[in-house]
Chains A and B, each alone.
Chain A
Amino acid sequence: MLASKPTPAARRGGWTDFQRRYAPYIFISPFFILFFIFGLFPILFNAYLSFQQWQPGSGLGEMKFVGFRNYTDNLTDPTFWQSLKNTAVLAVLSGLPQHLIAIPLAFAVAGVLRRMQHLVTAVYFLPYITSIVAISVIFFTLFSWQYGVINAALSALHGLPLIGGLFPADRINWLGQKEYVQPAVALVVIWRYTGWNMLLYLSGLQAIPRELYEAAAVDGATGGQQFRYITLPLLRPIMFVAVTLSLIGGLQLFEEPFILTNGTGGAGQAGLTTIMYMYRTYASYSDAGVAAAMSWLLFLVIGALTLVNNRLFGRSGLAGRDER
């Protein structure tokens, strides 16, 4: 097809010229096309929708512009505020323990359990890739009020002499009583994501030069001191990443509380997160505009909290910046 020697015509506007000038755009276009369709368009449409009153079942022609009413509706809705509070409580309740367990665990795996590192990592990582449906079936069985393993274990412990008094005499209705819904949901989230965080920390640990530990050991530093003065400071950048991911993930919590409470939010609506409430507003109440406005309000909250996290943690956490 191609002339082996470019003719003057080809140099001005022919095939090679086309190749040089435009072909790259064609080659990278799939990304942009997909991004516009599945990334940018939904975001813009959602923004547009947040100013409309719309019942999804009635067709696109039925939209009605209502200004900021969807936003003010949400801001004056007690259930919206309750869902935000639930989300915040769950984010802390499930987020903190993840890291408090994952960091020492990663340290132990990298040091003591070095030989079995791959096996241990795989075992801890397994919950993260397990299907949420399978998880819910397992935890339903564990948490069940009448038939659950957890309650069976607690009542067996209650029957023991001496320490029996520490455990409750009555069965706990984990998913049916207000006080226990959030701990139950948090437990599942912790179980699911601790392995993922451990993996992050493990990769961070492996980036710390071994000479530092050797030098410290020569100087007589104990294991605890090594952890305190070498591991923790050098792990900060990865801690910043992991905490940011947990923060965003925690505020978008949906699957675990949704499935554990059968989509109802559980007793006293204690398990109703903002994303769940948004889904309910759209799917059950058919109020697409209010749901869209809610998603933008949540976006603002996540944005603000990420910024705060950045200020508090990021400055010293990002590698290379703490020296300056």
Chain B
Amino acid sequence: MRSLLTLTLALTASTLGMAAAQTKTITVAAFPDLDSVIKAALPGFKKLYPNVDVKINSLAYADHHTALTTALSTGKGAADVVAVDFGYIGRFAEGNGLVDLRGAPYNAGQYRSQFVAYTYPQAMAPDGRMVAMPTDIGPGSMFYRSDMLRKAGVRPTDLNRSWESYIAAGKKVVAANPGSFLIPDAGEAAQIILRTGLGAGEGLYFDKSGKVLVGPENPRFVRAFTVAKQIRDAKLDARAGGAFSPDWTTAFQKGNLATEFSGAWLVGHMQNWLAKDYSGKWAAQNLPGNTFASWGGSFYAIPQQSQNKAEAWALIKYLTTNPAQQVLAFKTTGAFPALRAAASDPVFNEGVPYLGGQKARIQWRQAALKIQPLDVNRLDPVAEQIVNDALNTVLDGSKDIPTALREAQTLITRRAR
């Protein structure tokens, strides 16, 4: 396997032809912590491509994406390789600023089976172009406080059997641990339910033909809103809003949360600053209701304006399709590999010290394989905003579910014409 890979890399290198004679410098634009992953990869890359120098330009997360948008809209100033976060990939896929990696000489399609299944569709435009290669993923996990559960006599499986059992067991946990909350925000449950159980040809908010799926007739939306409302009405959530909001952070630091749904990467934040004092008390379990969802992920792309596309592709291929490199990335920042072969490395069988030595990585690897691909639509950000607003009006009790969903449907349809 690896020798075959080296061979293809060598072949690519030879097709570069005259480039072998002189040194070329390419630029990479990224954000923290992905920049440290690339930095760690450079010695290995340099061995294969001694004539290619790599310069990394790193900006803060939001600044990086703003700068990239500006560079793509004006056609000037983009790096040869650009990192793109999951939250932005749909927007960039829509425009024509990034190279279609399906075509020659990239032929990215041939690697598809080597990657976790849901990653490729995320980087694809509705017309089938593929604008970026996946590098890391965020398989969803339910983190829970084992000490709080023990106090309430609740088993972890009581929490994840179904959403109903999650709420029922949650009531016991909160009752046994005064001042605690089951979950930072009730809306999180709705987000997971919306992302699971999609029918064939369905995206999150639109189907393949662009028809709006949001509405009181769609059981997926009704169920998502209903479960979230039940959690809020049972006073189980801390109403903290989104992740990383000040209330969310404070609740974590004070040890007031019994569970949280997030990507596997949350462990890094918890052990470094978010819940330092609770090492060994947190553990991981699958999401409730036998559901699997993803939290973010990163991609690499080549802008159309790049003058060094061949070298840029060589670097991207090295970063994404080389198992050793993907394992190195995991060890560097905890970035969970999108490349399936990398996840069979022995390091994944080791226990996670923060989770009390639990072998959670095996669980996450299995979860990653079960996450469904979601089709992206240009209007997803609009629909997402409108649905979130509708959910909030339901949660604060100002509208009932059918009314809120019907209004959301009207608003989205208006934009989608």
Q: Hey, which bits of chain A sit against chain B, CB under 8 A?
A: 55-60, 62, 76-79, 137, 140-141, 144-147, 173, 175-178, 262, 264-265, 267-269, 280, 284-286
- Taking the closest CB of chain B, its distance from the CB of A292, in whole angstroms, is 13
B92 touches A57 (CB 8 A): yes
Collect the chain B residues with CB atoms within 8 Å of residue A60's CB: 73-75
- Taking the closest CB of chain B, its distance from the CB of A173, in whole angstroms, is 6
- Taking the closest CB of chain A, its distance from the CB of B76, in whole angstroms, is 10
- B58-98 CB mask vs A (1 if < 8 Å, else 0) is 00000000000110111100000000000000011011110
- Taking the closest CB of chain A, its distance from the CB of B125, in whole angstroms, is 11
| Distance A298 CA – B94 CA, assembled complex (angstroms) | 29
B250 touches A147 (CB 8 A): yes
User: B47-55, B190-198, B223-231, B385-393: which lies at the A interface?
Assistant: B385-393
A140 touches B246 (CB 8 A): yes
4 nearest interchain CB pairs? A58-B95, A57-B95, A56-B73, A140-B246
A62 touches B95 (CB 8 A): yes
B10 within 8 A of A: no
| Distance A200 CA – B100 CA, assembled complex (angstroms) | 58
Q: Which residue of B lies closest to A141 (CB)?
A: B246
User: B12-20, B28-36, B132-140, B237-245: which lies at the A interface?
Assistant: B237-245
Collect the chain B residues with CB atoms within 8 Å of residue A285's CB: 379, 381-382
- Taking the closest CB of chain B, its distance from the CB of A268, in whole angstroms, is 6
A286-B389 CB under 8 A given contacts A58-B96, A146-B251: no
A269 touches B97 (CB 8 A): no
Assuming A57-B69, A60-B74, A267-B396, what are 20 further A-B pairs, CB within 8 angstroms?
A55-B91, A56-B70, A57-B73, A57-B97, A58-B73, A59-B73, A60-B73, A60-B75, A76-B414, A78-B411, A79-B411, A141-B246, A146-B238, A146-B250, A173-B239, A175-B241, A262-B241, A265-B389, A268-B393, A285-B381
- Taking the closest CB of chain A, its distance from the CB of B396, in whole angstroms, is 6
| Distance A286 CA – B28 CA, assembled complex (angstroms) | 24
B382 touches A59 (CB 8 A): no
Return 5 A-B CB contacts under 8 Å, by A number.
Answer: A56-B95, A57-B91, A62-B96, A79-B411, A264-B241
| Distance A152 CA – B65 CA, assembled complex (angstroms) | 40
- Taking the closest CB of chain A, its distance from the CB of B54, in whole angstroms, is 25
Collect the chain A residues with CB atoms within 8 Å of residue B74's CB: 59-60
A269 touches B389 (CB 8 A): yes
A178 touches B396 (CB 8 A): yes
Interface residues on B, range: 35 or more
Q: Which residue of A lies closest to B70 (CB)?
A: A56
A286 touches B91 (CB 8 A): yes
| Distance A267 CA – B232 CA, assembled complex (angstroms) | 15
B75 touches A147 (CB 8 A): no
- Taking the closest CB of chain A, its distance from the CB of B288, in whole angstroms, is 24
B247 touches A59 (CB 8 A): no
| Distance A268 CA – B398 CA, assembled complex (angstroms) | 9
B396 touches A268 (CB 8 A): yes
List which B133-170 residues lie within 8 A (CB) of chain A. none
| Distance A59 CA – B378 CA, assembled complex (angstroms) | 16
| Distance A262 CA – B385 CA, assembled complex (angstroms) | 13
| Distance A264 CA – B388 CA, assembled complex (angstroms) | 10
| Distance A140 CA – B411 CA, assembled complex (angstroms) | 31
Q: Of A146, A268, A269, which is within 8 A of B247 by CB?
A: A146
| Distance A177 CA – B232 CA, assembled complex (angstroms) | 13
| Distance A79 CA – B73 CA, assembled complex (angstroms) | 27
| Distance A280 CA – B382 CA, assembled complex (angstroms) | 9
- Taking the closest CB of chain B, its distance from the CB of A265, in whole angstroms, is 8
A59-B96 CB under 8 A given contacts A77-B414, A147-B247, A285-B382: yes
Collect the chain B residues with CB atoms within 8 Å of residue A57's CB: 69, 72-73, 91-92, 94-95, 97
A262 touches B96 (CB 8 A): no
Q: Of A58, A62, A76, A284, which is within 8 A of B385 by CB?
A: A284
- Taking the closest CB of chain B, its distance from the CB of A248, in whole angstroms, is 27
A58-B94 CB under 8 A given contacts A145-B239, A268-B392: yes
Collect the chain B residues with CB atoms within 8 Å of residue A269's CB: 389
| Distance A280 CA – B388 CA, assembled complex (angstroms) | 14
| Distance A144 CA – B241 CA, assembled complex (angstroms) | 11
- Taking the closest CB of chain A, its distance from the CB of B202, in whole angstroms, is 22
Collect the chain B residues with CB atoms within 8 Å of residue A56's CB: 69-70, 72-73, 95
- Taking the closest CB of chain A, its distance from the CB of B144, in whole angstroms, is 20
List which B258-305 residues lie within 8 A (CB) of chain A. none
B95 touches A144 (CB 8 A): no
- Taking the closest CB of chain B, its distance from the CB of A219, in whole angstroms, is 58
- Taking the closest CB of chain B, its distance from the CB of A49, in whole angstroms, is 11
Collect the chain A residues with CB atoms within 8 Å of residue B73's CB: 56-60
Q: Which residue of B lies closest to A77 (CB)?
A: B414
Collect the chain A residues with CB atoms within 8 Å of residue B392's CB: 267-268
Q: Which residue of B lies closest to A173 (CB)?
A: B239
| Distance A137 CA – B398 CA, assembled complex (angstroms) | 29
Collect the chain A residues with CB atoms within 8 Å of residue B396's CB: 176-178, 267-268
Collect the chain A residues with CB atoms within 8 Å of residue B245's CB: 262
Collect the chain A residues with CB atoms within 8 Å of residue B92's CB: 57
A176 touches B398 (CB 8 A): no
| Distance A137 CA – B247 CA, assembled complex (angstroms) | 11
- Taking the closest CB of chain B, its distance from the CB of A288, in whole angstroms, is 8
Interface centre among B75, B247, B250, B414 (most CB of A within 10 A): B247
Collect the chain A residues with CB atoms within 8 Å of residue B379's CB: 285
Collect the chain A residues with CB atoms within 8 Å of residue B411's CB: 78-79
List which B341-388 residues lie within 8 A (CB) of chain A. 378-379, 381-382, 385, 388
Collect the chain B residues with CB atoms within 8 Å of residue A262's CB: 241-242, 245
- Taking the closest CB of chain B, its distance from the CB of A272, in whole angstroms, is 9
